[in-house]
Copies of this chain bind each other. A is one copy, B any other.
Amino acid sequence: MVRKDTDAPPTIHHSPFTISIVLVAPQMGENIGAAARAMANFGLSDLRIVAPRDGWPNPAADAMAAHGLPIVQNAQLFPTVEAAIADRQHVAATSARPRDMIKPAFSVKEWLNNQLPITNHQLPATAILFGRENSGLTNDELALADCILHIPVQEAHPSINLGHAVAIMCYELSAISGLPSASNPQETLATKAEIQHFFTHLETELEQRNFFLVKDKKQKMLQNIRAIFSRSQLTGQEIRTLRGIITTLTKR
């Protein structure tokens, strides 16, 4: 069998930053600047922006950033959420609304105290996703996260200003943002890019062997397969092991 692109080890860019704030398709430059200002207040600095509505750079963001201006100026731009979280090991998506999907949901305090996988006082490379001002994150974007975070609000008034949501999150994160990144790659969680490449590898092989007989059910079956492996917090080493298994199983 010809060696495919998906067999190549993914290029991993390990960011020096432990926690990334990811704004997905933000509409108002003012909110991007406000997010950067709050990040500076609470010691975060890795801002990532996915497909901002009004393009980039945006003078409105600069004007609102105050002392967070260097964070705006150093923000990284990405075309997709997948690209923005490729080097991350743990991804939490903020959402105000309950969703009919199997994805664990926690309050920020529950997540910080019990769910964020901190090992030996070391943090995984983490991203927090924030959605569009008017409509939040899509279901496909939520599916990329390990869990959903919600800021507990009044049922009658659940819509939090984007800048406020980032400020509250950074305020809570400041308790842990000083922790070092996990350093031993043998024991650390796989990055989202490694996991994505594993899925692509597996799905390509299954596709070629006509695993998805009923075309209508393919998407649902893929979701279910991804859910199996997403729940188990795989390390980079385990992903490499799984890919070795697939390669071995598919040898003629």
In the complex, are the beta carbons of B174 and A171 less than 8 A apart?
A: no
CB neighbors of B among A156-181 (8 A): 156-161, 163-164, 167-168, 171, 174
Cβ proximity bits A58-89 to B, threshold 8 Å, 1 near / 0 not: 00000000111000000000000000000000
Q: Which of A146-154, A182-190, A239-247 interfaces with chain B?
A: A146-154
Please indicate the chain B residues that have their CB under 8 angstroms from the CB of A153 in the complex: 41-42, 174
Which A residues lie at the B interface, using CB under 8 A? 34, 37-38, 40-43, 66-68, 151-154, 156-161, 163-164, 167-168, 171, 174
Please indicate the chain B residues that have their CB under 8 angstroms from the CB of A167 in the complex: 160-161, 164, 167-168
**Distance, CA A159 to CA B40, complexed state (A):** 9
Pull 23 A–B residue pairs with CB atoms less than 8 Å apart, ordered by A.
A34-B164, A38-B160, A38-B164, A40-B156, A40-B157, A41-B153, A41-B157, A41-B158, A41-B160, A41-B164, A42-B154, A43-B154, A66-B161, A67-B157, A67-B159, A68-B157, A151-B171, A153-B174, A160-B167, A161-B163, A163-B164, A168-B171, A171-B171
In the complex, are the beta carbons of A34 and B161 less than 8 A apart?
A: yes
20 more CB-based (< 8 A) A-B contacts, given A40-B156, A67-B156, A164-B164: A34-B161, A34-B164, A37-B164, A38-B161, A38-B164, A40-B154, A40-B157, A41-B154, A41-B157, A41-B158, A41-B159, A41-B164, A66-B161, A151-B171, A153-B174, A161-B163, A163-B164, A164-B167, A168-B168, A168-B171
A163-B160 contact in complex given A42-B153, A43-B154, C-beta closer than 8 Å: no
In the complex, how many angstroms separate the beta carbon of A197 from the nearest chain B beta carbon?
Answer: 37
CB closest residue in chain B, given A177: B154
Please indicate the chain B residues that have their CB under 8 angstroms from the CB of A68 in the complex: 157
Copy number in this complex?
A: 2
CB closest residue in chain B, given A68: B157
**Distance, CA A43 to CA B155, complexed state (A):** 9
In the complex, are the beta carbons of B66 and A159 less than 8 A apart?
A: yes
Please indicate the chain B residues that have their CB under 8 angstroms from the CB of A152 in the complex: 174
Please indicate the chain B residues that have their CB under 8 angstroms from the CB of A42 in the complex: 153-154
**Distance, CA A66 to CA B154, complexed state (A):** 14
Instruction: Name the residue in A42, A159, A161 with the highest tally of chain B Cβ atoms < 10 Å from its Cβ.
Output: A161
**Distance, CA A157 to CA B41, complexed state (A):** 5
**Distance, CA A49 to CA B66, complexed state (A):** 25
Please indicate the chain B residues that have their CB under 8 angstroms from the CB of A40 in the complex: 154, 156-157
